[in-house]
Amino acid sequence: MIIAVDGPTASGKGTLAKALAAHFGLPFLDTGLLYRAVGRHVQLHQGNPDDAADALAGCGFPDSLLDDPSLRNEEVGGLASRVSIHPEVRAALNKRQVDFANQPGGALLDGRDIGTVIAPHADVKLFVTAPAAVRAQRRYAEMQRQGNDVAFADILADIQARDARDTGRADAPLKPAEDALLLDTGDLTIGHAVQAAIALVESRLRKS
């Protein structure tokens, strides 16, 4: 069984994907982490994430970089969004994702184009979303808890910029697959969102 979970930044898709993987006993891959590693590698080598050649060179990151805690910060998230617009980068990372999705026994992947590009044959496709202002508030609260001095307006602007890049790129833009199940987490707690996601997946599996 393959489950694809897509959605914009701070929609809750990562949390839901991990919960679904645990619930259904599936190997899990956060594909966004691969793009973050590319962005971080470019940064470490003083490259330009907006330059296709520099971004492609970043795909040669060592596997150890995936354990770098800085991959989770806002700056690297922005770099990931910038390198991901390059078709060369997406092509370089696609094989790793496709191989993971098609492993014996199935898998669960979350990202931006899992249900549309990486695993269009997935048994269940879930598209997780929430209004930009809600997503910005979540990220703002998270950063405040971490002791980061940030302005809500800056977080909102960054999320809107990422949304524009992710949905506007020519290659594999962020969008729901035609047969994706939509889950808006805007008014849901984490617990309720997890319950809703499990219910949606189980409902689709019963119909398949």
Structure tokens at 14: 């990562």
CB-based contacts of 145: which residues, under 8 Å, 6+ apart? none
Phi/psi for 129 (5° steps) reads: -145, 175
Please give the C-alpha separations between residue 54 and each of 62, 64, 152, in angstroms, as whole numbers.
16, 20, 31
Residue type, position 115, single letter: G
> What pLDDT is stored for residue 149 in this prediction?
86
pLDDT, position 106: 96
The answer to whether the CB of 104 falls within 8 A of the CB of 26 is no
**4 phi and psi angles, rounded to 5 deg:** -110, 130
The predicted structure's pLDDT at residue 146: 85
Low-confidence ranges of the chain (pLDDT < 50): none
Spatial separation of the C-alpha atoms in residues 107 and 29, rounded to whole Å: 8
Q: What is the pLDDT of residue 172?
A: 85
